[in-house]
């Protein structure tokens, strides 16, 4: 009925994703990750318009961050 081959035994457990990273980052088809910038939600009256425009844009992961995020989000996000 059930296979007891070693290949099936190795894939027995699933990895858990990091929930904080899952809420902040989204994976792209290129392998990079994208996130929104902090500081754009409130207290915007005292911020200059060019700063608010810059904070409204998305930012992408660097090379050293991508390896860490691949470990935190093993199945993408």
The CATH number for 42's domain is 4.10.410.60
Helices (H) and strands (E) in the chain, counts: 4, 3
CA 37, 73, 64 angle in degrees (round to 5)? 65
Q: Is residue 66 part of a domain?
A: yes
Q: Is residue 4 part of a domain?
A: no
Predicted model pTM = 0.75
Q: Which pLDDT tens digit goes with each residue over 20-58? A: 999 999 999 999 999 999 999 999 999 999 999 999 999
pLDDT-derived band at 2 (thresholds 50, 70, 90) equals low
Q: Is residue 10 part of a domain?
A: no
- How many domains, in total, are found in the chain? 1
Full residue range of the structural domain in which residue 40 is found = 19-72
Q: Are 26 and 33 in contact (CB under 8 A)?
A: yes
């Amino acid at each position: 009925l059930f296979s007891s081959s070693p290949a099936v035994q190795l894939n027995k457990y699933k990895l858990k994703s990091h929930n904080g990273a899952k809420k902040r980052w989204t994976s792209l088809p290129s392998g990079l990750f994208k996130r929104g910038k902090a500081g754009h939600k409130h207290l915007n009256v005292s911020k200059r318009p060019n700063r608010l425009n810059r904070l409204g844009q998305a930012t992408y992961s660097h090379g050293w961050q991508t390896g860490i995020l691949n470990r935190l989000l093993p199945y993408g996000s």
